[in-house]
Amino acid sequence: MDKAKNYSALKKFCFDEGIDLFGVGDITKVREEFKISPKVAQNLDKSICLGVMLSGAVLSEIDIVPTKLYFHHYKIVNSFLDHIALRLCNIIQKKGYLALAIPATQIIDWEKNIGHLSHRRLGVLAGLGWIGRNNLLVNEKFGSQFRLTSILTNMPLKIDKPSEKDCGTCRLCVKICPAQAIRERPEDFDHLKCFDKLKSFQSQRQVEQFVCGVCVNVCRGNKK
């Protein structure tokens, strides 16, 4: 099988199963940053990034604080992504290649907001969008209203081109952020202010985990 044929087959499987975003990126220049065994990472040169859109109705309930409904939805979507990622790994492995699914949400350091790797960064490499002012991956069609997971593999696959778009003049997330953590430039995002607000939401029993969703609700990408 050639790279394009492999790509098309995996993409069709994912879309048939309910995935909304699919892209493949070259990770050879970033895999040393991953918080996984270097012995494993050195044999994996691509990432398959999958995205599932969030419910607009659930998000619309969010005003300036997260809701219990959003928290439940957040968990269910992440679980769905992990389920599809596992099935995709099985398909790849049965074809004789390596595949490692990274959980959709598994933070290993909350204060630094670090996981085993950055799904957002891999999403950029896979052409799914750009890093917005809200420090999230922004897709032209879905804004930030989706969740991501990634599968690392050595399967021969066509590589997608990173997006050259950005948030332009939109600053809705800057204005509404309850932590005032969002700045003009994505690289100036204040992780500590964001984390302090997440802890506040949890201590007030608004949600049971560190989630917010306020900036996600207002982010529309480049849609009119």
What's the 3-state SS for the chain?
Answer: CCHHHHHHHHHHHHHHCCCCEEEEEECCCCHHHCCCCHHHHCCCCEEEEEEEECCHHHHHCCCCCCCHHHHHHHHHHHHHHHHHHHHHHHHHHHCCCCEEEECCCCEEECCCCEECCCHHHHHHHCCCCEECCCCCEEECCCECCEEEEEEEECCCCCCCCCCCCCCCCCCHHHHHCCCCCCCCCHHHCCHHHHHHHHHHHHHCCCCCCCCCCHHHHHCCCCCC
Given a cut of 60, is residue 224 above it in pLDDT?
Answer: no
Percent of the chain with pLDDT over 70: 92
Q: Which carries the bigger pLDDT value, residue 49 or residue 220?
A: 49
Given a cut of 70, is residue 112 above it in pLDDT?
Answer: no
Q: What is the pLDDT of residue 203?
A: 79
Q: What is the pLDDT of residue 106?
A: 67
Q: Indicate the pTM of the whole model.
A: 0.90
Q: What is the pLDDT of residue 108?
A: 64
Q: What is the pLDDT of residue 52?
A: 98
Q: What is the pLDDT of residue 41?
A: 84
pLDDT confidence tier of residue 207, bands split at 50, 70 and 90 = low
Average pLDDT, the chain: 91
Neighbour tally for 63: CB within 10 Å: 11
Tell me the mean pLDDT in the region 170-183. Answer: 94
Q: What pLDDT digit, counting tens, does each position of 123-152 carry?
A: 999 999 999 999 999 999 999 999 999 999
Compute the distance between CA of residue 7 and CA of residue 23 in angstroms, rounded to an integer: 9
Structure tokens at 104: 């959709």
Q: What is the pLDDT of residue 34?
A: 84
Neighbour tally for 209: CB within 10 Å: 14
Q: Which carries the bigger pLDDT value, residue 36 or residue 47?
A: 47
